[in-house]
Every structure is written in structure tokens, then in C-alpha cells.
Amino acid sequence: MVKIADHSKQKISIPKSELIFLLIAAGLLAAGVVACFLVNPVLSTMSAEDSRIAVTYAKVLLMATLVIVLFLGWLIAFKKPKLEVTSMLIVLLVGILYIFAITPLSAPDEAHHYHSAYVFSNVILGKENIKKGDYQDFNYEGLQPHQNVASAYVRTAKDMFTPRIDEENVVDVLGPYAVRYPGSYIFPVIGLTIGRVLNMNTFWIYTLGRLTNLLGMVFCVYFAVKRAPKWKLVFLILALLPMNMQQVTGFNYDGVINSCCILFIASMLYSIYEKGRMKWWEYLWIFIPAALCGPVKGVYVLPLLGVLFIPKERFAKTWQKYAILVPILVAVLAFSAIGYFKWPYTATGANPAPLTEVVIGDEVVSQKYTFSMLFSDLPLFFRLIGNSILYMGPKWAAQMFGYKLSGMTLILWRPIIVGFFLLLLVALHSNRIQKESCPLSVGKRIAFLAIFFFIFMSPIILMLPAETFIGASTVMGVQGRYFTAALPVLFIPFYVKPLEIKKDITIPVVLAGVALAAGTVINIVLDTMGRAL
């Protein structure tokens, strides 16, 4: 007799991790449907067709965001790739969402930076007149500088499938925008040039330039997380900050600075805490990113002082510890000199005219402060600096994380910014990944904080004669994004000891970072649809 097994009463068991993932997935999909309904279905200032295109574009972008979040969640929770691979994929996929969510020209001064990069692209392509560009490459119809607007979504959606319309008209190229160092746009120029060679339209040229700028950050984050002896999660979360993601997915030199700073600081920490004699390739990991970003903004040479904390035991002779700075500083000075004195491709006089007057109270002021005026009245100087830190400091801190994006006009939901801040603190103290303990002496903490302090103070002091009009109570023209690249040297000194948690919290921290990044993209899309021209 053959016995037939009775499965009618057998329970179906689902592993707890898979069940949690399925519940989260269902919740995210439900949230996606709700978010799609929140998109404004009628944009009165547009035609019916353009309104439909904008709404469809926004809904596709929202659903793409949720699909990417689910994919990353599944990958992180079940496949558990190495953290550096995970970091690379997260920054790449989230960055692509940013590229399509934040429209061309909307990032701070992006039009000028695009023009500057275009000049360098002309040099690469061997153009005879590098200050001229094809009319089609500067077709900004439907786009608005410093604004993320729904009409730009319409333009983007149409240009994805519209071939380039060749025009014989040639236009003047504005720029370089106060930048003469060719390395300032080393990442975005690659994509811009490829787009021009392939004869693409304005949108795709912009997109390829933004993509290669993002790939620069992807490369730097991968090796930063791989090389960092500790605080690996900090570098990933820093890369995902809304301000950082906007910078590396747009046309600007801040993207190059932020990417190189992350790699440089991680490499510096590697050399500080690694054992044995320094290898020649360790010098390169410090030298190359420092030499790239130093000439762009000289203040970012300051983190180089951290290499002085490399133990003397890592050098064959004591003098080599200090000599390591010499080739880096020489390279930075040489690149800066080439940019300012030998670079023949600047388009001087092409920049827009500076602001000549401002209204303060009921008075129209046309004269700015000068250093001679300020130093002759030191109490005024210190009062301006003190007021700026006291009253503007919290605003700059929020902007540093990305509270205001898209030319400082797109305001993010505050819990997102608070969430990133708290997540950084958790990431700083979740240290089950490092090989061994990496103690921080009081001297090192003070030195790192001093480095950040000097980076923080430099733009404030420089903006006094550059942007501040007589009668102003605070320094004008300073933006929080100027300090984002220096955040690693601000957070690391606050490390105390690992959190006393029995289980590894790496995966929850990474997933929380992905969730906050997705929330940022959704915030951007919904805000843009409510900001139709």
C-alpha cells in the first residue's frame, strides 16, 4: 500500500527577514500610489498636453524611486554585498534619480558652470574659437535658472525622444565663471564632450555631463569606504546628503571638491591607522585627490594637515613625515599658477555685471566693505563675524545638509534633514566593521575641529569685501554648501566609542540612508509639481 502524505494541515513558514521585507515593500508601494495622487493633476499655466506630460513624468519618477528603493533593500537585506560595493550602487542609483528630478540650470549658478565646462570641452575638441558654441547646445527653452519647475519636466520628457535640430547659429560662451583651473570640471567635461561628439541635444549633453560628475563621486565613495579603517558608514551617509547629491549631479566644481575630499580624508585616515611602513601607492591615494581639489578652492588644502598625524613609525626617517606635504603643496601651487597665469582660454569680461547696490532698511547702499575699512575698525569686524555666526550659523548648518536645494529655492521637509543628521551620529558610532580600535587623542580631535573652523571662517571673511554692503549687520553671500565637503573633519572628532549593541546595525543604517535619500527625491518631485511656471 502506498501512503499519500497529507499536506492539508502543514503550515507555510516564511522567514522573518523575508516577511519584514515584504511588509516594507507593500508599504512603499502604497506610499508610491499615494504620492502619485498628490501630484497636481492640473497645471493651469500650461496647455493640457504639457500638463499631462509633466504629471506623467512626475509619476514615472516617483515609481522609479520606489522600485530602486525596493531593489536596494532586497540587495542589502538578502545578498549582503561588500559595503564598498553597496555604497557604489546606492550612490549611483540615487544619483540617477537626482539627475532626472533636479532639472538643468536649477542648481546654484549651473548655467555659468555649464558654460565654463563648455570652454574646456572646446579645448579638448580642438575648436579654433573656444569662446563660441553651437546654438543648439544652449537652448534653454522651458528651463529656469535657480528654479526646479514643472515646465522643465515637460522639456526633459520631450527631449528624451527628440533628435537634435542642427542650427548654424553660433553664440558666445559665458565664462569661465571665476574659474581658470581646467581641473575644476574634470568630471562633467568628460560627459559634456561625449554628448557633443555624439551630436546630442541640449538635454542629453547636460545629462551626460551630470552623469560623469556623479561617476566621479561613485568612484571616490567606493574607494573611500573600502580604504577607511573606521567610520566607513559615515562616508556613505555623507555622500548621500541632499546637498552633496545635488552638487555631484550638476555642473559645478563643488562636485569635484566634495568627491575628492571624501576620498582624500578616507585615505588620510587609512595612512594614520595602518601598520608598517607606508607604501608608495599610499602616497598616491593622498596626493591625487588633494592635488585635484586644492587648486579649485585653496581652503581645501587645509585638511592636508591631517597627514601630520601619521605615526612616525610608518616612515623610514622622521623628516619624511613632514616631507610628505611638500609634493602635494607644490602640485597644488603649480596647478593654481598654471590656471591663473598660463591658462590662455579664459573669457574675461563675459561674466554678468555684479550687483552694484542693495537696499538695507530704507537706505540704498552702493558701496561694499573693504579690508582696510574693517581692520581700521576691529570692533565692527568682530561684530559682523559674531552676528553672522550667531544668527546665520543655524541656517548655514541646515543648508550644509541640504535644507535648501535648487539654487536655494527648493525647501526640503525638515525631518529629512534631522534624519540625516541623526543617522550620521549613529553611523559614526556603529563600528563593528573596522579591523581594530582607532583611538582619537584629544590633540587630534582639537586639530580636526580647528581645520573645520578655518574652512568655515574663510568664506565668511572673504565675503566681507566681496558681497557685504556697508550697513549690513551680517556677512552677505555665504551659503551652507560651501562647508559640505569639510563635514568629515567635523564629525570624526565627536566619536567617543562604539555603540553597545549586540547585533550589527550596519544594514539598518544603510537602509535608513536609502530611505532618506528616496524621501528627498519624492520631496523634490512633489515640490516641483507645485511650482509650475
Q: How far is CA 274 from the centre of its chain?
A: 28
Tens digits of residue pLDDT in 483-504: 998 888 888 888 877 666 667 7
Q: What percent of the chain has pLDDT over 70?
A: 81
Q: How far is CA 287 from the centre of its chain?
A: 21
Terminal alpha carbon distance of the chain? 80
Cα pseudo-dihedral 83, 87, 93, 99, rounded to 10: 180
188 contacts 210 by C-beta, under 8 angstroms: yes
Residue 237: other Cβ atoms inside 10 A: 27
148: which DSSP letter? -
Q: How far is CA 358 from the centre of its chain?
A: 31
Cα gap 494→491, rounded to integer Å: 6
Q: Is 379 helix (H, G, I), strand (E, B) or coil?
A: helix
413: which DSSP letter? P
14: which DSSP letter? -
Q: Which residue has the higher pLDDT, 354 or 241?
A: 241
**CA quadruple 230, 232, 234, 235: dihedral sign:** positive
**Does the pLDDT of residue 297 top 90, yes or no?**
no
314 contacts 274 by C-beta, under 8 angstroms: yes
DSSP letters, 320-356, are HHHHTHHHHHHHHHHHHHIIIII-TT--TT-SPPPP-
Q: Which residue has the higher pLDDT, 283 or 156?
A: 156
Using pLDDT thresholds of 50, 70 and 90, give the confidence band for residue 440. confident
- For residue 50, the one-letter residue type is D
456 contacts 486 by C-beta, under 8 angstroms: yes
Q: Which residue has the higher pLDDT, 26 or 329?
A: 329
Place of cell 574607494: 223
Q: Which residue has the higher pLDDT, 219 or 39?
A: 219
- For residue 38, the one-letter residue type is L
Residue 5 Ramachandran class (φ > 0 left, ψ -120 to 50 alpha, else beta): beta
What average pLDDT does this structure show over 227-256?
A: 91
Using pLDDT thresholds of 50, 70 and 90, give the confidence band for residue 518. very high
What pLDDT shows up at residue 210?
Answer: 96
What average pLDDT does this structure show over 360-384?
A: 71
Cα gap 207→215, rounded to integer Å: 12
What pLDDT shows up at residue 116?
Answer: 87
Lowest-pLDDT choice from 40-44, 234-238, 436-440: 40-44
**Does the pLDDT of residue 317 top 60, yes or no?**
yes
Using pLDDT thresholds of 50, 70 and 90, give the confidence band for residue 459. confident
Cα gap 434→528, rounded to integer Å: 41
What pLDDT shows up at residue 7?
Answer: 40
Place of cell 573645520: 452
- For residue 430, the one-letter residue type is S
pTM listed for this prediction: 0.87
What pLDDT shows up at residue 500?
Answer: 66
Q: How far is CA 523 from the centre of its chain?
A: 17
Residue 406 Ramachandran class (φ > 0 left, ψ -120 to 50 alpha, else beta): left
- Nearest-CA neighbor of 492 among 450, 436, 458? 450
What pLDDT shows up at residue 473?
Answer: 86
Joined grid coordinates for residue 363: 537706505
Tens digits of residue pLDDT in 185-214: 889 999 999 999 999 999 999 999 999 999
**Does the pLDDT of residue 352 top 60, yes or no?**
no
What pLDDT shows up at residue 175?
Answer: 62
Cα gap 418→520, rounded to integer Å: 12
Joined grid coordinates for residue 312: 612616525
**CA quadruple 145, 149, 155, 158: dihedral sign:** positive
What average pLDDT does this structure show over 361-369?
A: 58
Tens digits of residue pLDDT in 173-182: 876 555 667 7
What pLDDT shows up at residue 321?
Answer: 76
Mean pLDDT over the full length of the chain: 81
Tens digits of residue pLDDT in 57-110: 998 999 899 889 889 988 888 888 899 999 999 999 999 999 999 999 988 889
**Does the pLDDT of residue 11 top 50, yes or no?**
no
**Does the pLDDT of residue 1 top 80, yes or no?**
no
